[in-house]
Amino acid sequence: MTLNKFEGTGIAIITPFLDNGDVDFDSLHKLVDFQITNGVNYLVVLGTTGEAATLSKDEKAAVINAIIETNNNRVPLVVGFGGNNTREVVEQINQFNSFDKIDAILSVAPYYNKPSQEGIFQHYKEIASASPVPVIIYNVPGRTGVNINADTTIRIANELNNVIAVKEASGNMEQIMQIIKDKPDHFMLISGDDALTYPMIQLGASGVISVIGNAFPNEFSSMVTQALERKSEALQTHYHFFDIIKAIFEEGNPAGVKAILHQKEIILNNLRLPLVPVSESLYKKLHNLKEEINSMA
C-alpha cells in the first residue's frame, strides 16, 4: 500500500438532505462528481462534517454505497468508524462488507468517557486489529473532550502497524511539531484544521482533510499542492481563504459550508437537528466572502 494516496487534499464530505429530512442522493452524486472533477485527492465519508451522528445504520450504508458507486474507483475513499464504545466500533468493522471498495478508515478518539492515554492506546489497538484496511486516527479534543497527546500518537505509530496517520485538529502547534519530529517515516500527520493547513504543511504535515474544500475543491486543493511543493503562491492563497474559513465555523459545522454549497446550487440548505442552518446575516456574509474567493480565481 502506498501512503501517498492520502497526501494532499482529502474532503470531509457533507451529507445533503431533502426538505423532508431524507438523504438527498441526487445532490450527493452531484457533490462527489464536483469534488473529483476539481482535483481533490481522496474523499472521507461519514465524518463529523457528514453529520454521521444523526444518520441511521441503514442510511450510513446507503450513503457509503452511493459514494462508492459515484466515485467508481476514481479517488481513494476513507470511511469513518468511530465511537466511545470500543466493542461496538469493532463490531461495526466486523460487520462491514465493502472493505474491498475502500482504502482506509478514520476513527475519532473516544469521546465523553474521557479515557486515559493508556485507554486511548488500547482502544486503537483493538480497532487496528479488527480493520482489514489501514487506520487513520482522529484527534479533535474540542469535540471529544480528550486529547491524544504526542507520546501516545508516537506510541500508536510505532506499535500498531495498521495505523498509518493521525488527523490532527488539536490546534496545538507544539504538539503537532513533536509528533512530526518523532514519528516514524511511514506515519503521516494530516491537518484537521483548514485554517492551519498551510503552516502545518510547512512543518511537515502531509496535507489536510478539509471542510472548506467541499465548496472550493479546486482552489483549496491547489493551495495544498502549492504548499507541499513549497511554492510561494501558497501563502497568498492561504490568506485569501482565511476569513471564509473562520466564517464557516461561526455557527457550527457543517452549517457554514452547506450554506455556500446552497449558494452554488449544489445542495439544499438543510441540516438535521440539533444542527440548524446558519442565520440570515451569516448567510449573506458567506455569500460576500464566496464572491471574494471567486474574484481571486
Please give the C-alpha separations between residue 51 and each of 80, 127, 165, 232, 257, in angstroms, as whole numbers.
11, 22, 23, 36, 13
111 in catalytic set: no
The question of whether 167 is a catalytic residue gets the answer yes
Query: HSE (CB half, 13 Å, CA atoms) of 244?
Result: 28
CA 124-126-131 angle, to 5 degrees, is 90
Which residue out of 42, 124, 138, 283 is catalytically annotated?
138
Taking CA atoms, 101 is separated from 74, 77, 97, 127, 133, in Å, by 11, 8, 9, 19, 10
Q: Report CA Rg, the chain.
A: 18
- Cell matching residue 166: 493521525
* Candidates 42, 60, 124, 167; catalytic one: 167
* Calpha distance 279→264 (Å, rounded): 17
Cell numbers representing residue 141 in the block:
479534543
| Enzyme catalytic residues | 138, 167
